[in-house]
Every structure is written in structure tokens, then in C-alpha cells.
Structure 1
Amino acid sequence: MASLIEMVPPSVAGRMLRSVFALPEPVKRLIAGAPVYRDGQRLALDTQLLLLMMRLEGERRLAGGTVEDAREGLSRTKVLLPGVPARPVATRKVDAGGVPARLYTPKGLAEGSPLLVFYHGGGWVVGDIETHDTVCRYLAVHAEVRVLSIEYRLAPEHPYPAAPDDALAAYAYAVEHAGELGADPSAIAVGGDSAGGNLAAVVGLLAERTPDFALLFYPATDFTVRRRSRELFEEGFYLTDADMVWFADHYVPEERRAEVKASPMLADDLSGFPPTYLATAGFDPLRDEGEEFAKRLDKAGVRVAVRRQEDLIHGFANTWSLGGRFREALSEAAGALRTGLYAGPRDRD
């Protein structure tokens, strides 16, 4: 049976959510309850409040049940959490080598700007350009870049390796057609969140022309090992261990999970990977594998900045419109992207 909040139109529920986040801190603490501590970390008040509001949505989960239900659930958050930067952003459709894409161009951005090729999250099963529209707009405006958001094929209709194949094809298109996209061919980054971070990492390893920078939000990097953070945060912090199993089972057969296109952590050589900003969330089952990937990059001689947003949860990039710690975290990432692309080396022929 639907919960009361589920019967409220998403646009109305979204306004209610933002009004709660606008309350004074002491009032929000009364609503959220006692602080939550785990693994030496304290959950941010706004994160705790968001999780409470999610629970009021009933038993809806990120994954589980039918694929259609999971996709509908994530699409609802697009309406619940609308948000666009104050600066206008123009968009247009692009056929990126046979892969549908959307190009974001902030108003007034000069021709020849850097470009971010972005892959949305959603466990390779849910999510699309629309669910990550606000993230792409924010990064475009605050990093002063064009963003090409990729609509790669989803499982189970298109199982592995359809998604990484599309990711590589779209990136190759962006490199070849950078001028047509209004971008600088010597300043092209890849980025993504969660499953999209996985795809960006695959492109960083396997693309014929190495990207100039990688922006990875809480990436999935290894299907073959269960790390400690999956036990610590297996339930109650948005992405669950059960969700991860459900996504993996829909995406890639067990016998292929050690392939680099699925688990970039397992590549023999990471030394050619681009300079990277990698953000993890403290209360996230994926935390440890993201941070281990960063350590492997560093050991291979790659310039990498790893940042644990220790009081946040998986998916924080999509919640920036609520302000507070969510916006701070995405703003930091946008700054890293801008620095990496504008101040990075330009030694391409």
C-alpha cells in the first residue's frame, strides 16, 4: 500500500522537502533525532534528515523488485530534487558515434572550452540523462566546461559489455569531433558517479587517446571482492548491499566480473591513467573500493586527489539543490575539474 507521501505529487513533495531543509538547525535536529556515528564518522545532519525523508516514502528501494519499478523510483527523485544553477545552460542532442548524448553549454562560455564526457550512475540498470541533468548543469556552470552526457545502453536489456562499449565509443566521438562540440581537443575529461564512475574509469584505462582528467564520484571499481565498507553500511544509508547484488546480477555474469571492462581495479597497469579527482562518501558501501582504486593509482605514479566526504552518503552529487554539505561537496569537485582542465598540461600534438 502506498505511503501518504507517495500519494503526494512529486513536485509538491519536493517543495515540502526543501522547506524542511530550510528550517533552523535546532529544529532539524529535533526532527532527525540523535546523531548517527559509525566507523569514527558522524553523519551530517542534512544527510540524516534526507534519509529520514526517504524512509517516509515507504519501502521504496534504489533497487530490488522489477527493473521498471527501480527505474520509476529513481526518476521520481528528478522531480523531488529539481535544481538549476542561476546561470543559463543551453542543451542540444548529439549523436555520439551512434550513442545518444546531450551537450550542455553554459551561457557565455567561449568556444574552445574544456569538455567533460559524463556517464550517469544507476547500477548500469537504472538512471538516464534526465536523472543526472542537474548534476551536469552544475558541473558545466561551476567548472566552466561543456558537458557531454552519455545515454549508454542499460542492462538487463543490453547486458555487459554494452555499457562500456558505448562509453568508449562516445568518448572516441568526443575526441574526434571536439571542434564541432565547441571544445578544446587537448582538454577532454571523463567523469561519472557510481556505475558512471566505473565507466569513466574503464575509458581512462582503455581509450586509445587517454583523457586529460578523470572526475570520479564514489565509483564501483571491483566486482570480485567484498570490502569492509559493504559490511559497515550494508543497510540504512540509501545504497545497500542488497542493491549492489541486484545491480551486479542484472548487469554482468559472474564469470566475467574480473574483466577490466567490468572491474578496472584489476588492470595490470594503471600508470597511463589520467590525473584524477576521486570523491567517496563516508557512509557508502562503495567507499573502500573507491579509495583502494585511488591508492593503486597513486602507487602507479598517477596524480590523484582522493577526498572522502565522510559525513555523506552515496549519491550526494544528485542532492546538491538541497544546499549545505551536499552543495559544498559538489562545488569542491567542480573546482577540482576546473583546475585539472584549465591548469593541467597541454602537450597534445
Structure 2
Amino acid sequence: MPTFVELVQPKVETAVARGLFALPGPAKRLLAGSPISVDGQRLALEAQLLLKLQQLGGQHGLSASNAEVARAAMRRGSGLFGSARVPGVVVADRSIPGPHGALNARVYRPRELTEPGDLLVFYHGGGWVIGDLDTHDDLCRFLARHAGVRVLSVEYRLAPEFPFPAAYDDALHAYRFAVEHAEELGSSRERIAVGGDSAGGNLAASVAVHAATGGLPRPSFQLLIYPAVDATTRRPSRELFGNGFLLTDGDMDWFMGQYAPSLDERGDPRLSVLLAEDVSAAPPAHVVTAGFDPLRDEGEAYAERLADAGVPVVTRRFPDLIHGFASLGAVGGRFREALFEIAGALRAGLALR
């Protein structure tokens, strides 16, 4: 049984963190330090303050000595900077039966949305190693409420216990489930989109490209938030932002070593979707990147690849933000502004599909 201190400490830390972010701008600047500019971009004050707090707390990245330690750290961070319940959203847990066991899932519906409509199948981020329904609960609630869409958030098997292509297989199976149960989920086969952040963006992009090869209709839209799309090439952003901006270069090496330890697997287009032979059948896309993110360049390269193939795509770089910002809406300020823009883009993309 947890001790009193163990129960109270997270609440105190959360209150302190939120109090710091509620300070006036000059006070936050004093705490965060001098402005940081790299590659012609200036880091947002809220992002710099967050990084300062993590540095003071001894956290310098997302990887750890083993997967369980990293998962616990992400859950703790999610509780510290998240948990701002979005009102007006009806939430229900459910289970998706599958060949490798049931997948946990969660359905979000804006309370006022009672007629059939669009459904976003969402895959959480976390390097294919960490993250779950709870760490991305706030983000899914936000998208459901402010994009006016139902969201089916899906857990998938994590590495290293289940290496590549387990996560991809589960992601494709979850999309197949959504298609086959579209009416039950309040949608139709033609109105199912996919989306995700980071590793989840990787899974969404892969499903969007490869659904047809599995005999499935293509998704109606894809929302890719700072996706990982190429495990074979180190682009300049990996060097520019590989240390000190939450997701580190070492983190990416660690995550990939857990998920795809064999170098021969990393060029597989189910993982490195940027290398897929043909992406012209992919659905319209909204690709989001962050300026201070090691994954920035590969996400934008994928958007260019889609555009060159004739796929309608909008690319939006938030030049002042860091990887992971979509999970920081509860902090407010610049993070929340960016989330509102993403939700608006999702709403528009689904309306114009």
C-alpha cells in the first residue's frame, strides 16, 4: 500500500509545476534563463521553462535503464503536466479482440455529437516502448472535443517484449476492426481517419499507406504529429536538436534498439514508411512538426514525398516548440495554442476530404 508521502508528493509536484507556469512572463523568463535560438528559431518560453524544470529534476531524456523504468517515468510526467480533463466528452473503455490477444482501447465522443460522423483511430506515441491510453488521454479528449470527432484510441504491443512488426500489426488490426465495426462506433467505412504522435504517427502513416495491401479501404485522412518515418537516415535535425530538447538523439537510438534491434529490419517500409515504393494512394494528410525536434526533418521530408506523389498535404512546423508538445496542453500557453490549431486542421481536413 502506498505511503502517505507517496500519495501526496505527486499532487504537490503538480501544484508547484502549474503554479510556476501561471507566473507572469518576466518571472517565467527569469526561471527559464536567457532565450534559446537554434537554426533561426527561438524556443517558446513555456517550452524552455519545462526543459529547465526537467533538468533540475534530473531528467535528461525519455530513455532509461530498461523499459519498465522508462514507462514509469512517462506515466509520472504525464500526471505532472497533464490531467486537465476536457469537459463535454463521453469516454468509454473497450477491448478489441485480436490474434495475439485483446487490445485495450478507449472511445471518446463529444457529448453533443449524437449522429454518425467521422472517427479518428489514434495511436499513442512513446517510441514503440512507452506510453499507453492514460498518457494520451488528455490529447484524445482535446481532439474529440475541439475537432468535433469521435476518437478510438488504441494500445498496441510494446517493445522490447514485442519487437517490430508487432506494433504495426496491431495498428493495422485496430484499423481493420474500426472498418468492420464502423456503424457500432458511430461512423462509416468511408469516414475513418488515422492519426498519432511520434511513434504513433509512424503507425498511422504506415497504416494509411499499407491498408490497401491488407484488403482494406484507405483511411479518409491522416493526422501525423511529429512522426518518425525513416529509421535508416540521420538528418540534420538529429544533430541540431539531439540533446537538451526532451527527446534526445540517444533516446531515438535506444527506442529503435528496443523496437527493431536488427539493422536489416529498419529499411522495411512498414517501419520506414518514407521508403515505401509508392505512397500515391495515401489519403490527404496534415503533417505537424516541431522546430526543436530531432524528428523534424524526416517528418517534413515525408510531407514532401506525399506532395510529390500527388497526395494533398499540409505541413505545419511549430518552429518554437519541442517534441511531445501535443501532450502538454494542460500547461497552457503556447502548447495549448498549438493544440487548438491542430484540432482546427483536423476538423477542416475531415470536412474537406
TM-score higher than 0.5 here?
yes
Residues in 2 aligned to 1:86 and 1:72: alpha-carbon distance in whole angstroms: 27
Contact 1:96 1:169 survives alignment (8 Å): no
Give the aligned residue type for 2:93.
R
Deviation readout 1:65-98 (Å, 9 max, x if unpaired): 1111101000102211211213233223132544
1:316 aligns with 2:317: no
Contact 2:89 2:144 survives alignment (8 Å): no
1:269 aligns with 2:270: no
Question: Who is 1:134 aligned against?
Answer: 138
Deviation readout 1:144-177 (Å, 9 max, x if unpaired): 1111011100001011000000000000110111
Give the aligned residue type for 1:292.
A
Give the aligned residue type for 2:113.
L
1:86 aligns with 2:87: yes
Residues in 2 aligned to 1:343 and 1:241: alpha-carbon distance in whole angstroms: 37
Equivalent position to 1:330, from 329, 336, 339: 339
Contact 1:104 1:137 survives alignment (8 Å): yes
Residues in 1 aligned to 2:33 and 2:104: alpha-carbon distance in whole angstroms: 44
Q: CA deviation at 1:22?
A: 0.8
Equivalent position to 2:257, from 235, 243, 249: 249
TM-score by length of 2: 0.93
Residues in 1 aligned to 2:219 and 2:345: alpha-carbon distance in whole angstroms: 15
1:221 aligns with 2:225: no
1:202 aligns with 2:220: no
Give the aligned residue type for 1:192.
G
Deviation readout 1:186-229 (Å, 9 max, x if unpaired): 21110000000000000000012110000011000000000000
Contact 1:89 1:141 survives alignment (8 Å): no
Contact 1:119 1:199 survives alignment (8 Å): yes
Contact 2:124 2:199 survives alignment (8 Å): yes
Contact 1:84 1:134 survives alignment (8 Å): yes
Contact 1:320 1:326 survives alignment (8 Å): yes
Q: CA deviation at 1:7?
A: 11
Deviation readout 1:47-78 (Å, 9 max, x if unpaired): 10111111122146310311111010001022
1:121 aligns with 2:125: yes
Question: Who is 2:14 aligned against?
Answer: 14
Contact 2:221 2:349 survives alignment (8 Å): yes
Q: CA deviation at 1:8?
A: 7.2
Give the direction of change, closer, same or farther, for the CA distance of 1:225–1:60 in structure 2 (3 Å limit). Answer: closer
What SS class does the counterpart of residue 55 from structure 1 fall into? helix
Aligned residues: 339
Residues in 2 aligned to 1:314 and 1:203: alpha-carbon distance in whole angstroms: 22
Question: Who is 2:38 aligned against?
Answer: 38
Residues in 2 aligned to 1:200 and 1:8: alpha-carbon distance in whole angstroms: 38
Question: Who is 2:177 aligned against?
Answer: 173
Equivalent position to 2:194, from 186, 190, 196: 190
Give the direction of change, closer, same or farther, for the CA distance of 1:60–1:36 in structure 2 (3 Å limit). Answer: closer
Give the aligned residue type for 2:305.
R
Alignment of structure 1 residues 47-126 onto 2, 5 Å: 47-59=47-59, 61-80=61-80, 81-95=82-96, 97=98, 98-126=102-130
What runs of 5+ residues in structure 2 fail to find an aligned partner?
1-5
Give the direction of change, closer, same or farther, for the CA distance of 1:7–1:174 in structure 2 (3 Å limit). Answer: closer
Question: Who is 1:341 aligned against?
Answer: 350
Give the aligned residue type for 2:171.
A
Q: For structure 1, which segment, 282-291 or 102-111, has the greater mean C-alpha deviation from structure 2 after superposition?
A: 102-111
Question: Who is 2:3 aligned against?
Answer: none
What SS class does the counterpart of residue 183 from structure 1 fall into? coil
Question: Who is 2:157 aligned against?
Answer: 153
What SS class does the counterpart of residue 151 from structure 2 fall into? strand
Residues in 2 aligned to 1:141 and 1:101: alpha-carbon distance in whole angstroms: 18
Q: CA deviation at 1:260?
A: 0.7
Give the aligned residue type for 2:27.
V
Q: CA deviation at 1:17?
A: 0.9
Give the direction of change, closer, same or farther, for the CA distance of 1:60–1:9 in structure 2 (3 Å limit). Answer: farther
Residues in 2 aligned to 1:7 and 1:69: alpha-carbon distance in whole angstroms: 19
Residues in 2 aligned to 1:141 and 1:92: alpha-carbon distance in whole angstroms: 17
What SS class does the counterpart of residue 113 from structure 1 fall into? coil
What runs of 5+ residues in structure 1 fail to find an aligned partner?
1-5, 345-349
Residues in 1 aligned to 2:209 and 2:246: alpha-carbon distance in whole angstroms: 29
Residues in 2 aligned to 1:228 and 1:8: alpha-carbon distance in whole angstroms: 43
Q: CA deviation at 1:111?
A: 2.7
1:300 aligns with 2:345: no
